[in-house]
Protein backbone atom coordinates (compact mmCIF):
# COMPACT_ATOMS: atom_id res chain seq x y z
CA UNK A 1 0.00 0.00 0.00
CA UNK A 2 1.31 3.43 -0.90
CA UNK A 3 0.23 6.63 0.86
CA UNK A 4 0.82 10.22 -0.22
CA UNK A 5 0.53 13.27 2.03
CA UNK A 6 0.52 17.04 1.57
CA UNK A 7 2.45 19.02 4.16
CA UNK A 8 3.13 22.69 4.80
CA UNK A 9 6.01 24.11 6.77
CA UNK A 10 7.87 27.20 7.85
CA UNK A 11 11.42 26.48 6.73
CA UNK A 12 13.08 29.19 8.82
CA UNK A 13 14.83 26.90 11.29
CA UNK A 14 15.54 23.98 8.96
CA UNK A 15 18.43 23.16 6.64
CA UNK A 16 15.94 22.38 3.87
CA UNK A 17 13.66 19.47 3.13
CA UNK A 18 16.24 16.79 2.41
CA UNK A 19 18.06 15.02 5.23
CA UNK A 20 21.40 16.53 6.26
CA UNK A 21 24.12 14.89 8.35
CA UNK A 22 24.54 17.63 10.94
CA UNK A 23 21.52 19.91 10.59
CA UNK A 24 17.75 19.58 11.17
CA UNK A 25 15.62 18.97 8.06
CA UNK A 26 11.91 18.67 7.29
CA UNK A 27 12.42 15.10 6.03
CA UNK A 28 14.14 14.14 9.28
CA UNK A 29 11.26 15.53 11.35
CA UNK A 30 8.63 13.70 9.28
CA UNK A 31 10.48 10.37 9.30
CA UNK A 32 11.00 10.68 13.05
CA UNK A 33 7.26 11.28 13.52
CA UNK A 34 6.46 8.27 11.32
CA UNK A 35 8.72 6.07 13.42
CA UNK A 36 6.94 7.20 16.59
CA UNK A 37 3.55 6.03 15.32
CA UNK A 38 4.62 2.95 13.31
CA UNK A 39 7.65 1.74 15.29
CA UNK A 40 9.40 1.17 11.96
CA UNK A 41 11.98 3.08 9.93
CA UNK A 42 10.26 4.66 6.94
CA UNK A 43 12.06 6.53 4.17
CA UNK A 44 9.89 8.97 2.24
CA UNK A 45 9.93 10.24 -1.35
CA UNK A 46 9.17 13.93 -1.86
CA UNK A 47 8.18 16.30 -4.66
CA UNK A 48 10.70 19.10 -4.23
CA UNK A 49 14.02 19.56 -2.47
CA UNK A 50 13.45 23.00 -0.94
CA UNK A 51 16.58 24.74 0.36
CA UNK A 52 17.39 25.99 3.83
CA UNK A 53 14.96 28.71 4.90
CA UNK A 54 12.45 28.05 2.10
CA UNK A 55 8.81 27.48 3.05
CA UNK A 56 6.12 25.24 1.55
CA UNK A 57 2.33 25.35 1.41
CA UNK A 58 1.77 22.08 -0.44
CA UNK A 59 4.82 19.84 -0.39
CA UNK A 60 3.99 16.20 -1.21
CA UNK A 61 5.66 13.06 0.12
CA UNK A 62 4.87 9.36 -0.13
CA UNK A 63 5.91 6.00 1.28
CA UNK A 64 4.91 2.32 1.24
CA UNK A 65 3.51 0.55 4.30
CA UNK A 66 1.55 -2.54 5.33
CA UNK A 67 0.19 -0.81 8.41
CA UNK A 68 -3.58 -0.23 8.38
CA UNK A 69 -4.86 2.98 9.93
CA UNK A 70 -7.74 5.16 8.84
CA UNK A 71 -6.87 8.43 7.13
CA UNK A 72 -7.73 10.64 10.10
CA UNK A 73 -5.50 8.63 12.42
CA UNK A 74 -2.59 8.84 10.00
CA UNK A 75 -2.85 12.63 9.79
CA UNK A 76 -3.47 13.23 13.49
CA UNK A 77 -0.81 10.72 14.54
CA UNK A 78 1.94 12.29 12.43
CA UNK A 79 0.97 15.84 13.37
CA UNK A 80 1.05 14.97 17.07
CA UNK A 81 4.75 14.14 16.72
CA UNK A 82 5.81 17.06 14.53
CA UNK A 83 7.11 20.49 15.62
CA UNK A 84 4.65 23.39 15.36
CA UNK A 85 6.33 24.66 12.19
CA UNK A 86 5.34 21.53 10.19
CA UNK A 87 1.77 20.33 9.56
CA UNK A 88 0.30 17.46 7.56
CA UNK A 89 -2.74 18.75 5.64
CA UNK A 90 -4.14 15.76 3.74
CA UNK A 91 -3.65 12.11 2.79
CA UNK A 92 -4.35 10.08 -0.36
CA UNK A 93 -4.11 6.39 -1.16
CA UNK A 94 -2.21 6.22 -4.42
CA UNK A 95 -1.17 3.59 -6.95
CA UNK A 96 2.00 1.55 -6.42
CA UNK A 97 3.75 3.33 -9.29
CA UNK A 98 3.12 6.82 -7.88
CA UNK A 99 6.23 8.82 -6.95
CA UNK A 100 5.98 12.32 -5.46
CA UNK A 101 8.83 13.62 -7.59
CA UNK A 102 8.77 11.66 -10.83
CA UNK A 103 4.99 11.56 -11.28
CA UNK A 104 4.66 15.35 -10.97
CA UNK A 105 3.73 17.17 -14.19
CA UNK A 106 4.43 20.70 -13.01
CA UNK A 107 5.65 22.60 -9.96
CA UNK A 108 4.76 26.06 -8.66
CA UNK A 109 6.63 28.59 -6.55
CA UNK A 110 5.87 32.09 -5.30
CA UNK A 111 8.35 34.69 -4.13
CA UNK A 112 7.23 37.45 -1.74
CA UNK A 113 8.77 40.93 -1.95
CA UNK A 114 8.00 43.74 0.50
CA UNK A 115 8.72 47.08 -1.17
CA UNK A 116 8.67 49.88 1.40
CA UNK A 117 10.92 52.38 3.15
CA UNK A 118 9.92 50.80 6.46
CA UNK A 119 10.78 47.18 7.27
CA UNK A 120 8.08 44.47 7.39
CA UNK A 121 7.92 44.07 11.15
CA UNK A 122 5.53 41.10 11.25
CA UNK A 123 6.43 39.40 7.95
CA UNK A 124 10.20 39.87 7.99
CA UNK A 125 10.88 36.14 8.18
CA UNK A 126 8.76 35.40 5.14
CA UNK A 127 9.65 37.98 2.52
CA UNK A 128 12.46 39.88 0.85
CA UNK A 129 12.50 43.52 1.96
CA UNK A 130 13.68 46.14 -0.52
CA UNK A 131 13.43 49.81 0.42
CA UNK A 132 14.33 51.09 -3.07
CA UNK A 133 11.70 51.89 -5.70
CA UNK A 134 10.78 48.84 -7.80
CA UNK A 135 9.23 49.73 -11.16
CA UNK A 136 6.33 47.30 -11.46
CA UNK A 137 5.78 47.84 -15.18
CA UNK A 138 9.42 47.00 -15.85
CA UNK A 139 9.30 43.98 -13.55
CA UNK A 140 6.19 42.59 -15.27
CA UNK A 141 7.58 43.23 -18.75
CA UNK A 142 10.75 41.27 -18.03
CA UNK A 143 8.94 38.53 -16.10
CA UNK A 144 7.02 37.72 -19.29
CA UNK A 145 10.34 37.06 -21.04
CA UNK A 146 10.77 33.91 -18.97
CA UNK A 147 7.73 32.26 -20.57
CA UNK A 148 8.35 29.23 -22.74
CA UNK A 149 11.22 26.80 -23.09
CA UNK A 150 14.71 28.21 -22.50
CA UNK A 151 18.20 27.25 -21.44
CA UNK A 152 18.32 28.56 -17.84
CA UNK A 153 22.09 28.24 -17.37
CA UNK A 154 22.21 31.93 -16.39
CA UNK A 155 19.69 31.24 -13.61
CA UNK A 156 21.25 28.28 -11.81
CA UNK A 157 23.60 28.19 -8.83
CA UNK A 158 27.19 26.98 -9.08
CA UNK A 159 26.14 24.00 -6.95
CA UNK A 160 23.45 22.88 -9.42
CA UNK A 161 24.14 19.35 -10.65
CA UNK A 162 21.30 19.04 -13.15
CA UNK A 163 22.37 17.63 -16.52
CA UNK A 164 19.66 19.54 -18.38
CA UNK A 165 19.38 23.34 -17.99
CA UNK A 166 16.45 23.54 -20.41
CA UNK A 167 13.14 24.13 -18.60
CA UNK A 168 9.67 25.11 -19.75
CA UNK A 169 8.00 28.00 -17.91
CA UNK A 170 4.23 27.76 -18.42
CA UNK A 171 3.23 30.73 -16.27
CA UNK A 172 4.74 33.81 -14.64
CA UNK A 173 2.41 36.09 -12.68
CA UNK A 174 3.15 39.30 -10.80
CA UNK A 175 0.55 40.31 -8.21
CA UNK A 176 0.51 43.23 -5.82
CA UNK A 177 -1.25 43.95 -2.56
CA UNK A 178 -0.42 47.28 -0.91
CA UNK A 179 3.36 47.03 -0.32
CA UNK A 180 3.67 43.34 -1.21
CA UNK A 181 4.75 42.05 -4.63
CA UNK A 182 4.43 38.35 -5.36
CA UNK A 183 6.14 36.69 -8.31
CA UNK A 184 4.64 33.26 -9.05
CA UNK A 185 6.21 30.77 -11.46
CA UNK A 186 5.05 27.42 -12.86
CA UNK A 187 7.33 25.06 -14.75
CA UNK A 188 7.87 21.40 -15.52
CA UNK A 189 10.96 21.50 -13.29
CA UNK A 190 13.43 23.93 -11.74
CA UNK A 191 17.20 24.19 -11.38
CA UNK A 192 18.92 24.83 -8.04
CA UNK A 193 18.12 28.39 -6.86
CA UNK A 194 16.42 29.11 -10.19
CA UNK A 195 13.37 30.98 -8.85
CA UNK A 196 15.47 32.98 -6.40
CA UNK A 197 17.91 34.04 -9.13
CA UNK A 198 15.02 34.83 -11.50
CA UNK A 199 13.42 37.02 -8.83
CA UNK A 200 16.68 38.68 -7.81
CA UNK A 201 17.33 39.50 -11.46
CA UNK A 202 13.85 40.97 -11.93
CA UNK A 203 14.33 43.15 -8.84
CA UNK A 204 17.72 44.39 -10.06
CA UNK A 205 16.34 45.21 -13.52
CA UNK A 206 13.24 46.91 -12.07
CA UNK A 207 15.49 49.10 -9.88
CA UNK A 208 17.75 50.01 -12.80
CA UNK A 209 20.71 48.08 -11.39
CA UNK A 210 21.06 45.65 -14.31
CA UNK A 211 21.10 46.97 -17.88
CA UNK A 212 20.55 43.60 -19.52
CA UNK A 213 17.07 42.33 -20.37
CA UNK A 214 15.91 38.90 -19.21
CA UNK A 215 15.91 37.83 -22.87
CA UNK A 216 19.56 38.88 -23.20
CA UNK A 217 20.56 37.12 -19.98
CA UNK A 218 18.90 33.89 -21.08
CA UNK A 219 20.91 33.97 -24.32
CA UNK A 220 24.18 34.59 -22.43
CA UNK A 221 23.87 31.20 -20.63
CA UNK A 222 26.21 32.52 -17.96
CA UNK A 223 25.32 33.14 -14.30
CA UNK A 224 27.53 36.24 -14.15
CA UNK A 225 25.03 38.27 -16.20
CA UNK A 226 22.01 37.56 -13.96
CA UNK A 227 21.17 39.40 -10.77
CA UNK A 228 21.61 38.54 -7.12
CA UNK A 229 20.11 35.39 -5.60
CA UNK A 230 17.10 36.58 -3.61
CA UNK A 231 16.95 35.49 0.04
CA UNK A 232 15.53 32.04 0.77
CA UNK A 233 13.03 33.35 3.32
CA UNK A 234 10.84 34.94 0.65
CA UNK A 235 10.33 31.73 -1.34
CA UNK A 236 7.27 29.46 -0.99
CA UNK A 237 6.86 26.09 -2.69
CA UNK A 238 3.17 26.05 -3.66
CA UNK A 239 3.26 22.41 -4.68
CA UNK A 240 3.37 19.94 -7.57
CA UNK A 241 0.56 19.14 -10.00
CA UNK A 242 -0.32 15.54 -10.84
CA UNK A 243 -2.83 13.84 -13.10
CA UNK A 244 -6.34 14.00 -11.66
CA UNK A 245 -6.47 10.23 -11.14
CA UNK A 246 -3.64 10.46 -8.62
CA UNK A 247 -6.11 12.10 -6.20
CA UNK A 248 -3.54 14.52 -4.75
CA UNK A 249 -4.52 18.00 -3.64
CA UNK A 250 -3.74 20.67 -6.23
CA UNK A 251 -1.00 23.24 -5.59
CA UNK A 252 -2.00 26.37 -3.73
CA UNK A 253 -3.18 28.74 -6.45
CA UNK A 254 -3.12 32.09 -4.68
CA UNK A 255 -0.56 32.95 -2.05
CA UNK A 256 -2.39 36.10 -0.91
CA UNK A 257 -5.52 34.13 -0.05
CA UNK A 258 -3.61 31.29 1.54
CA UNK A 259 -1.51 33.49 3.82
CA UNK A 260 -4.34 35.95 4.48
CA UNK A 261 -1.99 38.86 3.89
Show which residues are catalytic.
51
Q: How far is CA 161 from CA 47, 72, 152, 215, in A?
A: 17, 39, 13, 24
Q: Which residues pair with 180 in a beta bridge?
A: 114, 177
Asked if 199 and 210 touch (Cβ cutoff 8 Å), the reply is no
Q: How far apart are CA 120 and CA 181, in angstroms?
A: 13
Question: 65: Cβ–Cβ under 8 A, 6 or more apart, which residues?
Answer: 1, 2, 3, 38, 40, 42
Question: 84: Cβ–Cβ under 8 A, 6 or more apart, which residues?
Answer: none
Helices 71-79 and 26-38: crossing angle in degrees, nearest 10, is 120
Q: How far apart are CA 240 and CA 167, in angstroms?
A: 15
Alpha helices in the chain (DSSP H): 26-38, 71-79, 136-143, 194-206, 214-220, 255-259
Alpha helices in 18-135 (DSSP H): 26-38, 71-79
Amino acid sequence: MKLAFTVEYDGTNFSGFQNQKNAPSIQQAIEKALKEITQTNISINYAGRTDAGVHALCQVFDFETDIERDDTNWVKGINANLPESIAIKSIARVSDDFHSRYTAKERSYSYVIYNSKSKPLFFGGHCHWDSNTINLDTLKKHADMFLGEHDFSSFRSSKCNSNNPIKNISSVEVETYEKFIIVSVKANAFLHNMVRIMTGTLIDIAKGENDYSVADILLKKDRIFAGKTAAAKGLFFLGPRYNSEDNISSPVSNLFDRLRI
